[in-house]
Amino acid sequence: MPIGINPHNAQAPVYNHERFRAMRQPLVDNFNITHEQAAQRLTNIWQAQNLVERQEWDLQQEENDEANRLDQERRQQQEEECQHLLEEEQELTRQEEWKNNHNKFLPYNKVPMSSAIPKLPSALAVCKLKKGDYVKMYHFTNKGLAEAEASSHSLNDDAFALTKDDNSHHSFIPIAAAKAKETIIPDKDLMWAEIDEAPPLAPGHEGERMGQRACPIPPSVLNGP
């Protein structure tokens, strides 16, 4: 039967006390000794019993410590097995996701963002781009972009002018766009140096080329007549 109280902390009773007289009396009568001698014998018996209980307690503690150690090792092993299974499941999930969405895991080049402020073409070019029309290459040359920037600072963005296109259709466009029409150079009259100022950018080199070129040619330019 397990011992519930630590016998190392127990104190021997004071058998000389009057309340233990009934316990001393049989020893006095049977062994013809005094009450003091009977109290000492009772103390010796208690100490002998306490010694046995201490040994049993120590053995019990060793068994409990060993059981706790084995239980801790078992729980730790279970946790490691669960962690291993979780990692395997995560790896299988990652492989399955990579298989279904491999583009998500492709490496990418850490191209620094350009600190230069991009220049926009004229309002006329922007209008054509929004409608999906062909845009002359002049709008994307350094001179065309410079004129567009100057016009944007000198004219009111809210002002419009009535214009007529090649099909005799009338429409309102910003005055800056109407004024820009007067200076636009046809593609056939551009010099090679001017054409080279507005080449299309190759994929993956936007950050590098933006600092060298004024502005990329939009897809609508390449698809034009």
DSSP assignments along 171-194, one per residue: EEEEHHHHHHGGGPPPGGG--HHH
pLDDT value for 18: 94
Q: At what angle do helices 21-31 and 35-100 cross, to 10 degrees?
A: 130
The answer to whether residues 37 and 94 touch, using CB atoms and an 8 Å cutoff, is: no
CA–CA separation, 131 vs 218, rounded Å? 13
pLDDT value for 164: 59
pLDDT in tens, 75-100: 999 999 999 999 999 999 888 888 88
The answer to whether residues 43 and 25 touch, using CB atoms and an 8 Å cutoff, is: no
pLDDT: which is higher, 203 or 8: 8
The answer to whether residues 20 and 39 touch, using CB atoms and an 8 Å cutoff, is: yes
pLDDT value for 138: 82
- Per domain, the residue ranges of the chain are 7-103, 123-197
**Does residue 191 surpass a pLDDT of 90?**
no
- CA 168, 173, 177, 178 dihedral sign is positive
- Taking residues 15-20, report their average pLDDT: 94
pLDDT in tens, 149-170: 777 665 555 566 556 566 666 6
**Sorting pLDDT into bands at 50, 70 and 90, what band is 67?**
very high
pLDDT: which is higher, 52 or 106: 52
| Tokens standing for residue 194 | 């001017």
**Sorting pLDDT into bands at 50, 70 and 90, what band is 7?**
very high
